[in-house]
Amino acid sequence: MTKTVGIIGGTGNIGEGLARRICLGGKFDVIIGSREASKACVAADGVVCELKDRKCTATTCSGTTNEDVCSSDILIISLPFERVQGTIETIGKAAFENKIVITLINPMIRNPKEKYFLPDAPAEGSAALAIRKMLPESTRLIAAFNNVAANKWMMLDEELDYSVAVCGDDEEAKKTVMELVGSVSKLKPLDAGPLAMTKVVEGITPLVITIAMRNGLKDVGVYFK
C-alpha cells in the first residue's frame, strides 16, 4: 500500500512545493495540513490539477486540518520555528506517539542593512533538538530537506539536483526518510549522523540564502561529492 506523508503547515511557501514534488515522485501520497481545513483543501486541489496536467496517476493529494494530518505514516512539520510549540500543543502530543516526524526548520535572523542571514538557534543548539523536547519520547524525529530553497520546490520544470543531509537518532526511521528524499526529483539523500548534527545542518541555509542574495544567484544549493 502507498504510504502517506502528512505536511503540518503544508499551505506555506515550502509546503505546497513539497507536496507537489513528493506526489510527482510517484511513491507517496500527500495530505496537506492547515489550521483551516478549507485552506488545505484549496492547496490540495492545486496539487491535484498539477498532477493531472503532468499525467501523474500513481499518487494522490488531499487537504485537512493539522490534527487530522497526523493519521499519516510520516509527518513533516513545515512551520516557522516559533509556531511549532503552540501547534504541537493544539494538536495534542499523543498524536505524535511512535510517529516518524521530519523537521526541515532553520531558525535564522536577517541583517537587513548588510544583507546577510545568520542562524538563530534556540538554547538547545538547533530547532530539531528543541522540537525533540516538545514531542513524546517515542516520536522518531528526523531532520531532512533543510537546505533546499522554497522557490526551487515550485519550479517543477526543473530538477532538484541537490544533496539532502538526513540526521536522526533512529536508524530505521532515517532509512525510511532517506527513501522519501530519494523519491523526489534528483535529490540525493545522505546520512548526516545523529540529530545533534542539525546544529551544523540548519546553519547551512542562512549561508545558502546569503550567497544567493549577494551574488544575484537563483540556483544556490548544496551538493556533496
Ligand X SMILES: NC(=O)c1ccc[n+]([C@@H]2O[C@H](COP(=O)([O-])OP(=O)(O)OC[C@H]3O[C@@H](n4cnc5c(N)ncnc54)[C@H](OP(=O)(O)O)[C@@H]3O)[C@@H](O)[C@H]2O)c1
Choices 34-42, 91-99, 174-182, 213-221 (CB under 6 A): range interacting with ligand X: 34-42
Query: Which residue of this chain has its Cβ atom nearest to ligand X in the complex?
Result: 12
Calpha distance 84→12 (Å, rounded): 14
Q: Is 126 a residue that touches ligand X (CB under 6 A)?
A: no
Residue with cell 542562524: 119
**Which strands make up the sheet holding 188-191, listed edge to edge?**
61-65, 28-34, 3-8, 74-77, 100-103, 140-143, 163-168, 188-191
Ordered DSSP codes for 151-170: HHHH-TTS----EEEEEES-
Residue ranges in 66-105 that form contacts with ligand X under rule CB under 6 A: 78-81, 83, 86-87, 104-105
Q: 13 vs 60, which CB is nearer to ligand X?
A: 13
Count the Cβ atoms, other than its own, within 10 Å of residue 87. Answer: 18
Q: 86 vs 194, which CB is nearer to ligand X?
A: 86
Residue ranges in 3-22 that form contacts with ligand X under rule CB under 6 A: 9, 11-15
Least CB distance to ligand X at residue 85 (A): 10
Per-residue binding letters, 132-161, with ligand X (x by CB under 6 A): --------------x--xx-----------
Helix (H, G, I), strand (E, B) or coil at 207: helix
Calpha distance 144→222 (Å, rounded): 13
CA 47 to chain centroid, in Å, comes to 16
Q: 52 vs 186, which CB is nearer to ligand X?
A: 186
Q: Is 39 a residue that touches ligand X (CB under 6 A)?
A: yes
C-alpha cell at 104: 526541515
* Near ligand X by CB under 6 A: residue from 62, 72, 106, 163: 106
Q: 4 vs 106, which CB is nearer to ligand X?
A: 106
Instruction: Report the Cα–Cα distance between both ends of the chain, in Å, rounded.
Output: 34
Q: 146 vs 176, which CB is nearer to ligand X?
A: 146
Q: 26 vs 86, which CB is nearer to ligand X?
A: 86
Task: Single out the residue of 156, 151, 157 nearest to residue 219, CA to CA.
Answer: 151
Total residues interacting with ligand X, rule: CB under 6 A: 23
Q: Under the rule (CB under 6 A), what is the footprint of ligand X?
A: 9, 11-15, 34-35, 39, 78-81, 83, 86-87, 104-106, 146, 149-150, 205
